[in-house]
Structure 1
């Protein structure tokens, strides 16, 4: 185990320890540093502290850098729908029903299992269960994801997400007929205190969330919209559309009790654009709607 020692000077005093350490070593993510602090690998003046500890001038931080965890995610051969790949990034079209990364009790059949069989190099910033994963889409949402194949690419793509320069457009079918052609939903999203598995628009421990939408087509009881994410909160489109009174069709968590039988929300991440981490060239990709989505729209159009 390597040991690193950092002495705090006047320039860093009153800054959080997790912020100082993640800035000191670029390959350490803030989440990773916070985990190390909680697990006792980081001490200040030989004492354990919390991740929000504010350092004082003269403090000595000692980091016992833990050995990398052995990767216990099993590679699985899959027929991945890859739209782009080079030495730094990969863009994949995830099918509906596939979980993005393993979790306890669900260690196989995920996109990460397939990615590990497809390519040996994936960034390690997000830990052993989420190698290469920069952003996620829900299990029952289909569409495009960007994957980082090294830490340089990972940092670049995350920074683009933070600075809201990544293009992410989704097609969503919602209940109700939206009368206006476009709109912006600016409402903070946080964990639902009554149901920890759900998100909601709330002011309690919430984060900024902005979704823009345009109406593409109106049906008898439904509207097809294109949503563009400015931020990327968990379940953002599903929560925001419910908040304005037009929940997603088929959504078992945020939709009405009586909804379409679609085995999940009718949502597809169809357009993804970003600057290449190394060349800075803007790349944009578009994945067509899945067949079942197309068939559903054809049925609604016929009935309308």
Structure 2
């Protein structure tokens, strides 16, 4: 380029394709956008958000319920960002045209709860926004879930056909599903298997029925990795994947998962649930190859044993 030619700045170019709205009163992002973007209905505004076209004070966001404060500026771009959106409480371990495998942090919902707000931040919603960056009609589909307070490896499908295939053959497809659990007290038996029939109470709490064949059959295998008088760190393998299975079974043997008040825990030192989905290995639904994803044991889980982290 010649010295005398002035290239328009990227800031200028961007300004031509975007519109800024000053925030004058506290309000959540979604109602703010519906109020300010003229001629756009609720669903149109949601699509703009999902495609990453909205930023607050220069930072792109897809969080519908982001609390805005006076003095902030909301910018709506006519195009989505060229770069992928940053994830909150989530990272992608693997992605191809059929599946996405992620590592979820404790505290992030897998999918919106039945009683939750429709605009809650979830792994599902963030990944939907992620795939729609490539094409607005792209979707993801839930294969299995992790509890909100459980961290670790999760998989989503990119088509309904792959979702159905995985769900229908889950027991055969999944070769390894290993958790680490920090539980209260010293587990005396080095390894063991817990078997019961699980049912759900009216208060939505799972429990082991005292009658055989009464409920869903659940089998959990465990091995002690470390222990002291206060805590034990277990490697847990699921033979069946029932709702809250590990949490119920740990309470059943008198060693509830640390931080799990719902299922009998007394300690709160961890600040989260002591459960992490460490390994997921499965036969790829399309290629037929065995794929395996392993994550680190959360450092917090090792602290009670004075292990250097």
TM-score, shorter chain, exceeding 0.5: yes
Q: Would you say the 8 A contact 1:252–1:265 is kept in 2?
A: no
The one-character-per-residue Cα deviations of 1:225-246 (angstroms, maximum 9, x if unpaired) are: 0111111111110001111111
- TM norm structure 1: 0.66
Residue matched to 1:265:
273
Larger of the two Rg values belongs to structure: 2
Alignment of 1:133-212 (within 5 A): 133-163=142-172, 165-193=174-202, 196-202=203-209, 203=211, 206-212=215-221
Alignment of 1:211-290 (within 5 A): 211-256=220-265, 258-290=266-298
Alignment of 1:73-84 (within 5 A): 75=50, 76=62, 77-79=85-87, 80-84=90-94
Any stretches of 5+ residues in structure 1 without a counterpart? Answer: 1-69, 122-129
Q: Aligned equivalents of 1:111 and 1:153: distance in 2?
A: 19
Residue matched to 1:39:
none
The one-character-per-residue Cα deviations of 1:174-224 (angstroms, maximum 9, x if unpaired) are: 11211121111111111024xx22100014961011111111111222110
- TM norm structure 2: 0.65
Count of aligned positions: 219
Q: Aligned equivalents of 1:221 and 1:261: distance in 2?
A: 11
Any stretches of 5+ residues in structure 2 without a counterpart? Answer: 1-42, 51-61, 63-84, 134-138
Of 91, 96, 101, the match for 1:86: 96
Q: Would you say the 8 A contact 1:219–1:301 is kept in 2?
A: no
Residue matched to 1:95:
105
Structure 1 residues 93 and 102, CA gap change in structure 2 (3 angstroms): same
**Shift of residue 165 of structure 1?**
3.5
> Matched residue of 1:119: which SS?
helix
Q: Aligned equivalents of 1:227 and 1:170: distance in 2?
A: 5
1:105 aligns with 2:116: yes
